[in-house]
Each structure stands twice: as structure tokens, then as C-alpha cells.
Amino acid sequence: MAEHGDTGSDRRMRRLSGQHTRLVVGGLIVVAAVIYLVLGATRGGVAYYLTVDQILLRGPDARAVRVAGTVVDGSIVWDARELILRFEIVDEGCTLRVEYHGGRPDMLRDGAEVVAEGRLTEASIFEAHQLILKCPSKYAEATPDG
């Protein structure tokens, strides 16, 4: 009569099953960590693009947004000592005051197209932490050679 006990085959199967379980659990942990890191990175770097009108209607907000407009003629005020740049942008008839702390971009002029990233304050001033200016030469119409 054969005795029912642990055979070498049974022990091997349990060992392989345990290794498989550890591998699956380890894989799930790695996948969860990657998803967590990706979601955390994308959440912090998102800045919504709004029009001047939308920003003014929405009111003050701590979240960063982007807004585009044309620099209003005569509105640029540059304080070189404090490194504060103030100007206004207009988009579809709505005007927004912008304040930027940092160096003055070389291409910032009256009528320049600018994209500002930042937030609207309680005083309805858009505090920009980044300015992107569109290069006018890329958008100017070519003149025919005469």
C-alpha cells in the first residue's frame, strides 16, 4: 500500500506556486508605483489655456493657467532695479494687467503677441511666472520681390 505523503513533485509544485505568487505581487507593486508617479507628474505640470475674458470671469485662483494676448501700446512699465515688468494684454476686446518678476524679454514690445503662464490675484492682476513671446518674423507676410 502506497503512503500518501509529500512527494518531491508536490514540494516542487508548491515552491513554483509560491514563486509565481511573489512574482505577480511584485509586478503589481511596480505597476502601481509607475501609475502613481505618472499621475503625480502630470497633475503638477498642467496649465489650462484660457482667454482673457474667461480668466476675468473666473476670478482669482491659485491654479496656474495660460493666457494669450497682444501687448497694449504704451502699457509696458519696466523697473530694472526691482526686476518687475508690468504691461497689459488685450484679446477680443478684453484687457488684462500682467505683472512679471524677472528679466525683461528682448522681444517684448507694443503690439507683440505674448503667452503668459501664472495666476490671477485678488487685485485682478495676472501674476506671470513665465512669458513666451511669439517671434514676429515667423508670422509676417512675405513681401514680393519687385
Q: Which residues neighbour 100 within 8 Å (Cβ) at sequence distance 6 or greater?
A: 84, 85, 86, 116, 118, 127, 128, 129, 131
CATH number of the domain to which 89 belongs: 2.40.50.140
Do residues 79 and 63 both lie within one domain?
A: yes
**65 and 30 in one domain?**
no
In this structure, the answer to whether residues 61 and 36 fall within a common structural domain is no
Per DSSP, helices labelled H in the chain are 8-44, 52-58, 136-139
Look up cell 523697473; give the residue. Answer: 79
Domain assignment of residue 4, yes or no: no
Determine the pLDDT at residue 97: 97
Q: What is the pLDDT of residue 142?
A: 52
Q: Are residues 80 and 69 in the same domain?
A: yes
3 lies in a domain? Answer: no
Same domain, 52 and 78: yes
Shared domain for 95 and 76, answered yes or no, is yes
Q: Residue 50 pairs with which residues in a beta bridge? A: 67
Number of domains in the chain: 2
Residue 65, domain member (yes or no)? yes
Same domain, residue pair 88 and 26: no
Per-residue pLDDT of the chain (146 residues; tens, 9 = 90+): 455 555 667 777 777 677 778 888 888 898 888 888 877 666 555 567 889 999 999 999 888 999 999 999 999 999 999 999 999 999 999 999 999 999 999 899 999 999 999 999 998 999 999 999 987 654 455 555 54
Does 78 share its domain with 132?
yes
Give the angle subtended at the CA of 103 by the CAs of 97 and 105, to the nearest 5°: 75
Scan for cell 518531491, then name that residue: 8
Q: Which of 74, 54, 80 is nearest to 65 (CA)?
A: 54
Report long-range pairs for 8-16 (Cβ below 8 Å, ≥24 apart): none
The domain containing residue 66 runs over which residues?
48-138
The answer on 133 and 111 residing in a single domain is yes
Asked if the structure places residue 101 within a domain, the reply is: yes
Ramachandran sector of residue 92 (left: φ over 0; alpha: ψ -120 to 50; beta: rest)? left
